[in-house]
Amino acid sequence: MEVKPGYKQTEVGVIPEDWEVKRIGDFTDCTAGGTPSTKVPNYWGGDIRWMRSGELHLKEVDEVEGRITEEGLRNSSTKIVPENCILIGLAGQGKTRGTVAINRIPLCTNQSIAAIFPNKSFVPKYLFHNLNSRYKQFRELSSGEGGRGGLNLTLIKSMYVPLPPTLTEQTAIATALSDADALIQSLERLIAKKRDVKQGAMQELLTGKKRLPGFGEGKGYKQTEIGVIPEDWLVKTIAEIAPLQRGFDLPTTQLKEGSYPVVYSNVMSTLNCRIESR
C-alpha cells in the first residue's frame, strides 16, 4: 500500500510522520481491582466507591452504586485508583469485556476492570477516545473458547497506541471528539424532548381537547361512550369504518420458506409489552 508523503506505516497503521507509536506499558502502568468478601457485612456499605464492571457502560463515570468500608479495602485485592484513569473491562462473556470508560472520581473496582493510570506524558481523554474506538480489536484480542475470553494486564500493556508529539495536539483531538459526543448527546436530549411534546399533542389532538385552526370554531363538547369529545365528532366502532379479518397461529410444522412473514399472537403480545414498558 502506498503511503502518502508526511505519513508512515506503523504497527497501528498509517500515521503522521511526527507521531509516535508506543505500547501502553511503555508510558504508563495499570492495575486490576478486586471484590471484598460478600460474606462479611463489615466490608460493605462504607463510604468508599466500588465500581462493578457493568458500570463501564456509563463511559464517563461520575458516580457508582457500590460502597465498601476501609476494612473491606484493606482485606481485599481492590485498591483506590485516582480520577482520570482509563477503565477497561477484562472479563465477561458479554459486551463488558473490552468496554472502555474514564472515571471522574477516585474509586475502587472489581477484578474485571483494569485501570490505566494517568500521568504527565499523555492526555487521558485522548487515550480514552483512542481505546474506546478499538472495542472490536479488544474483543478479537481476548476472544476465547465458548465465547468466554479474557483480557489481562499483560495484553493491555502490550497494546500499541499512536501518540501525537505534543500534549497540546492530544488535548485538541480529545476536545474535538468530546465536543462531537456532547453535540450528539444534546441532539438526543432534543429528540427526547420533541417526542414528549408530540406525545402531549397526540393526547390533545386525538381526543379533540384541542382543535386545529379552522376546525370546530364555536362548537361545544358532548359526553360519549369513550368520554368527552367535540360536539361535531362521531363515535363509531372499528368494524363500522373498516373490514376486520382475524388471522390464526400457523403451526411451525406448516411453515415454509417464502416471501411472507408470519406474525404470531405471542409475538404481538411481547411487542405490546415492550411498547408499554417504555
Interface pick for DNA out of 15, 49, 55, 107 (rule CB under 7 A): 55
28: nearest Cα among 77, 71, 88: 88
Whole-number minimum distance, CB 213 to DNA, in Å?
39
Bridge partner list, 20: 163
Residues 6+ apart with CB under 8 A from 126: 164, 170, 171, 173, 174
162: nearest Cα among 202, 119, 131, 198: 131
Nearer to DNA, 237 or 252 (CB): 252
Crossing angle (nearest 10°) for helices 124-132 and 167-206: 60
Total of chain residues touching DNA, rule CB under 7 A: 44
Interface pick for DNA out of 4, 246, 256, 278 (rule CB under 7 A): 246
x/- map, 173-212, DNA, by CB under 7 A: ----------------------------------------
- Pick the piece of the chain touching DNA (CB under 7 A) from 17-25, 132-140, 152-160, 211-219: 152-160
DSSP states along 172-240: HHHHHHHHHHHHHHHHHHHHHHHHHHHHHHHHHHHTTSS--TTSSTT--EEEETTEEEETT-----HHH
Whole-number minimum distance, CB 87 to DNA, in Å?
12
- Pick the piece of the chain touching DNA (CB under 7 A) from 16-24, 125-133, 171-179, 259-267: 259-267
d(CA 19, CA 210): 62
Interface pick for DNA out of 4, 39, 120, 236 (rule CB under 7 A): 39
What is the binding site for DNA (CB under 7 A)? 31-32, 35-39, 52-55, 57, 77, 90-97, 110-112, 114, 144, 147-148, 150, 152-154, 246-249, 252, 265-270, 274
